[in-house]
Copies of this chain bind each other. A is one copy, B any other.
Amino acid sequence: MKLFSSVKDVSDVNQLVSEAIQLKANPFADEHLGKHKTLGLIFLNPSLRTRLSTQKAAMNLGMQVMVMNMDKEGWALETQDGIIMNGTTVEHIREAAGVMGEYCDIIGIRSFPGLKDRNEDYSELIFNKFVQFCGVPVVSLESATRHPLQSLADLITIEELKTTAKPRVVLTWAPHVKPLPQAVANSFAEWMNKADYDFVITHPAGYDLAPEFVGNAIVTNNQDEALAGADFVYVKNWSSYQDYGKILSDGEGWMMTNEKLKLTNNAGVMHCLPVRRGLELSHEILDGPNSLVLNQANNRVWAAQAVLKMCLTQTLS
């Protein structure tokens, strides 16, 4: 695997999930694979779960890890081509990517969208330039439009816990005070479309995701209808794709609560974290038996480890 940026980069999703579950049972079985290999983790935006889980996954495989918080420890990067760099950007992404490719065998990179210019964000300008110029396999640690390691961890979580072959999985929009990227929702939808589930997306009017991500999902603005009989409920805020990057309303009534949980089939409740308690998800759910958020966080390790193992075995060996 030379690139892990989307479910489309995975030839066999079932095999990847199964690999992750095996690694979870036996984390150090492949620690010879990463000997003398270096993973570079580059963050253009803050990270907690992603950095720690990916770092741990790499260490489990015997890799060395170098972390670079570009926004704090490095320089401001220029991404435009052909420009005269007489302003505040100190290094062009062409050189920055090229240099890091010289020092690392695999690179993970995080780059959030600006949420100002939809075309620019959805072209994945920064992520793709990085891939183009670094010359080594690249793993997305969340790009402008996708968060594939999160989605793989989410899929692993459902596969581990589902009690029917084809569970009903509902992605529900939730309120938030800040305009957030669509990346987690897009990515979750993309991966659910690959799984053979009964997949439903619900959100207030105006929050439709891009059609390429919605795929074959059933979409409804009626949350109660969506939740009926759900086995898993994925709660997540995102800003508008149509009225790009905007918050359209305060979303009153959309917070997931125990009351709404009664509509479901005693569903497991998921969230990628960080979560705004009392706003996106109620305290009672997060502190109760239906919450799967720590299961998901734990599975981030095995998702990353399965992906890194694929990179090591299919590209670098």
Give residues in A with beta carbon < 8 Å to B. Answer: 27-28, 36, 38, 40, 43, 46-49, 51-53, 55-56, 59, 64, 66, 68-70, 72-75, 78, 81-87, 90-92, 94-96, 98-100, 102-104, 177, 273-279, 283, 286-287, 293-294, 297-298, 301
Contact = CB atoms under 8 A, between A and B. Distances in A.
Contact of A92 (B43, B51, B277): B277
A99 B49 contact: yes
A297 B99 contact: yes
Contact of A274 (B28, B38, B68, B90): B90
Contact of A103 (B40, B74, B301): B301
Contact of A283 (B53, B81, B276): B81
Contacts of A177: 86-87
A237 B69 CA distance: 26
Contacts of A51: 68, 73
A102 B292 CA distance: 13
A99 B283 contact: no
Given A73-B69, A102-B298, A95 B55 contact: no
What copy number does this chain have within its complex? 3
Nearest to A28: B36
Contact of A74 (B27, B48, B56): B48
List the 5 closest A-B pairs by CB distance, nearest first. A91-B274, A84-B278, A85-B276, A102-B298, A99-B297
A101 B77 CA distance: 34
Contact of A277 (B27, B36, B73, B83): B83
A94 B286 contact: yes
A91 B96 CA distance: 31
A56 B75 contact: no
B66 A279 contact: no
Contact of A95 (B36, B66, B86, B274): B274
